[in-house]
């Protein structure tokens, strides 16, 4: 009986959170009447305007380190997946 009550309370909480999220998405949203321009790249920018300017000028080292880390993670994932092959002994 205690397990059933716990399952029902968890289910009720999940349903309540789902309804709350649904209502927040479907509720009134104040969308702008005119689109807002997002600068992507400005070759003449001196203040770092634009997403590309910011990423590849000010944060260049960070972007490179993240790329190296993701590459190492992919190689490690392939290595770990190969270890689980049936009939293979050792790494």
Task: Quote the pLDDT of residue 22.
Answer: 85
Task: Quote the pLDDT of residue 91.
Answer: 56
Q: How many degrees, rounded to 5, is the angle at CA 61 between CA 70 and CA 76?
A: 15
How many Cα atoms are found within 13 Å in the side-chain-facing hemisphere of 61? 1
Angstrom CA distances, 6 to 2, 10, 59, stand at: 6, 6, 49
- Measured CA to CA, the distance from residue 41 to residue 49 in angstroms comes to 7
Q: What is the pLDDT along the chain (91 residues), one digit of tens a residue?
A: 667 888 889 899 999 999 988 888 877 777 677 777 776 666 666 665 667 767 777 778 888 899 999 999 999 988 887 766 666 655 5
Task: Quote the pLDDT of residue 26.
Answer: 78
Q: What is the pTM of this model?
A: 0.39
């Amino acid at each position: 009986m205690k397990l059933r009550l716990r399952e029902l309370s968890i289910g009720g909480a999940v349903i309540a959170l789902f309804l709350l999220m649904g209502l927040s998405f479907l509720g009134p949203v104040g969308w702008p009447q005119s689109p807002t321009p997002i600068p992507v790249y400005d070759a003449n920018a001196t203040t770092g305007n634009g997403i590309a300017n910011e990423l590849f000028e000010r944060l260049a080292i960070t972007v490179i380190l993240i790329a190296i880390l993701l590459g190492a993670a992919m190689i490690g994932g392939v290595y770990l997946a190969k270890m689980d092959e049936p009939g293979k002994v050792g790494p």
